[in-house]
A and B are shown apart, each in its own frame.
Chain A
Amino acid sequence: MRAWTLIRFYTVFVYIFMFAPIAVVLILAFNKAEFASFPMTGFSLRWFERLFNDPTIMRAFRTSLTLGLMVSAISTTLGVMASIALVRYEFRGKDLMTTFLISPVLVPETVMAVGLLIFLRYLHMPRSFGLLLLGHSILALPFVVLVVQARLVGIKREYEEAARSLGANPLQTFFSVTLPLLLPAVFAGALFAFTISFDNITATLFWRPSGMETVPTQIFGMLRNSISPEINALGFVMISVTAGVPLLAGGLARYFGRKNRARHPTRSLT
């Protein structure tokens, strides 16, 4: 079994490669020194304090947050509707439609960014928050469709049919049976869309109007000078938002799932 030991070490090495740099950012966020890098001179929260008192960064944060939430709402609505159509109905051209909805993933983001920018300028819509909103939504949509579709396949139709046969009308069925079953999928899609928007820089650099910064473009701008320790603190906050929320949500879902199963043991059989 020596080969297996080697494989295990290799895997550990790759995981270290993936996470050590991130860990370093998280640690350096608490560095006391004036410089963004090593050596660590002590523990301090001063960079967080500096961060929360920096009006430009706070504005960027608000922009990113607003944008992310709106993008999430738009692309999740469109994506969930499309996914229901693709999973629940049989119709001609279904495969073609699936491919069409997913295909923007294969268009390089740079190209997509330039295309939308030029086209909307031609329609006299210059760079604006609106352009970012439309653009991010279209970037997120295919991923929402992929994620939601994957979750929807697992929901059995029998529940809805049972509700219908017990006399519920289609609307009642949707709101009291389908939607609750759908919620985890909707939530997963919404979270994914939010992260895509919140994290985007490639297209955002093309689309943002001058003077408007999202968190990633703000960091990008800050990098041009020298790396200030504030960036590490900002990185810490960003990672807490984008990785912390899904982890927490997943943990809660697990916790409540277990509790529910404990209360209704038979449910776990279905």
Chain B
Amino acid sequence: MALEVAKFDKRPWVLLSPALVTITALVVIPMAFMLAYSFYLNVDLAVDKPAFQFGNWIEIATDKYYYVAIWKTFRLSMIVTLLAAILGYVPAYFIAMTRFRHKWMLLLLLIMPFWISFIIRTLSWIHILGHDGAINSLLLYLGVIRHPMDMMYNQYTVIVGFIHVFLPYMILNIYVSLDGIDRNLEPAARTLGATGWQAFREVTLPLSLPGLGAGCLLVFVLTAGSYVTPLILGGPNDFLFGNLIYDAIITELNWPMGAALSITLLVLLGVVVIVYSRLMGLRQLAKAFA
């Protein structure tokens, strides 16, 4: 027996190696290279030369514009996360606790949005809130308003768009957590004299926190890293930090700056993830896929 344990088993490593090599070559090394590249000097449009200078970093550290973008991104991501948590908790609770025979249908519907194109789901809000959208058409038809209201292309539509796209992640994570709770706990609390609300607050809610936390982390990180939603649903002032990266690379063709900004975003969100994992651990995140 002892011999067998000591023997090194190659097989798992053979199976793992293609994936490990791919991730190392296409994620880890590019990230490291990007850090080096952020010190390069941008000479002209899409032309840069190897250098070790702090110009890009000094610009990020001193220009107020970048702080505004970081603050905006943080604020918007917080709002989206909070609203998604409020909107998502109750349905998750319902799905977990219901005795409805076709519960699987509710779950299937919850997974459905993952199969539906992100850009279609985002632009669909133009049909709801836009000038000729459903709400305006309905109110005009009913005679409530004379002229269509301007509801599109501001930070609220960006928030709605984000919540719409990321809400399923939130609900799914909370659901997984709630579903794992022993069904006898709440009735037990009730027999001990707790009211329904107390039983929920003292027993169920604390036990569902890991799922709620995982959902919040996911929604926060996904929102803070986005740039497409503001481009589709926002006005000119509704940019996020990701939009600065997009502009630097695609519009201004200042790639070293784009690299520096990307590293900044990575580090900022990395801090969020690390703080979270110290508090809650990351295991819960994988559970939603089981």
Contact = CB atoms under 8 A, between A and B. Distances in A.
A81 B168 contact: no
A77 B16 CA distance: 11
A202 B222 CA distance: 11
A39 B133 CA distance: 8
A22 B262 contact: no
A188 B228 CA distance: 28
Interface string A90-119: 010010010111101111111110111111
Nearest to A231: B123
B124 A22 contact: yes
Nearest to A91: B12
A265 B102 CA distance: 24
Contacts of A138: 22-23, 26-27
Given A115-B34, A141-B22, A21 B121 contact: yes
A137 interface: yes
B290 interface: yes
Task: Give chain B's interface residue range (CB within 8 Å of chain A).
Answer: 35 or more
Contacts of A114: 34, 245, 249, 258-259, 262
Contacts of B290: 150, 153
B283 to A, nearest CB: 10
Given A35-B132, A85-B11, A243-B112, A21 B127 contact: yes
A47 B19 CA distance: 43
B19 A202 contact: no
B282 to A, nearest CB: 7
Contact of B93 (A7, A112, A143, A202): A7
A108 B120 contact: no
Interface in B13-38: 13, 15-16, 18-20, 22-23, 26-27, 29-31, 33-34, 37
Contacts of B205: none
Q: Contact size class for A?
A: 35 or more
A91 B196 contact: no
Contacts of A18: 109, 113, 164, 167-168
A3 B9 CA distance: 57
Interface stretch (A55-63, A65-73, A215-223, A255-263): A215-223
A235 B125 CA distance: 13
B242 interface: yes
B134 interface: yes
B128 A199 contact: no
**Contact residues of A: prevailing secondary structure:** helix
Contacts of B226: 110, 202
Interface string A129-153: 0000011011001010111011001
B249 A122 contact: no
A258 B33 CA distance: 53
Contact of A14 (B90, B112, B141, B289): B90
A246 B286 contact: no
B82 to A, nearest CB: 15
Interface stretch (B51-59, B61-69, B178-186, B265-273): B265-273
A108 B132 CA distance: 34
Contacts of B131: 37
Interface string B253-290: 00100110011011001000100000000100110011
Contacts of A182: none
Nearest to B273: A106
Contacts of B212: none
B240 to A, nearest CB: 9
Which 5 interchain pairs have the tightest Cβ spacing? Answer: A108-B225, A21-B124, A37-B132, A119-B30, A115-B30
Given A25-B123, A36-B132, A82-B18, 19 more contacts: A11-B94, A24-B128, A28-B127, A77-B18, A78-B19, A101-B19, A107-B27, A108-B224, A111-B245, A111-B263, A111-B265, A111-B266, A115-B34, A118-B37, A146-B286, A227-B126, A232-B127, A238-B120, A242-B115
Interface of B: 9, 11-13, 15-16, 18-20, 22-23, 26-27, 29-31, 33-34, 37, 87-88, 90-91, 93-95, 106, 108-109, 112-121, 123-128, 130-134, 136-137, 141, 164, 167-168, 171, 196-197, 221, 224-228, 231-232, 242, 245-246, 249-250, 255, 258-259, 262-263, 265-266, 269, 273, 282, 285-286, 289-290
5 contacts: A108-B269, A121-B255, A138-B26, A143-B289, A199-B117
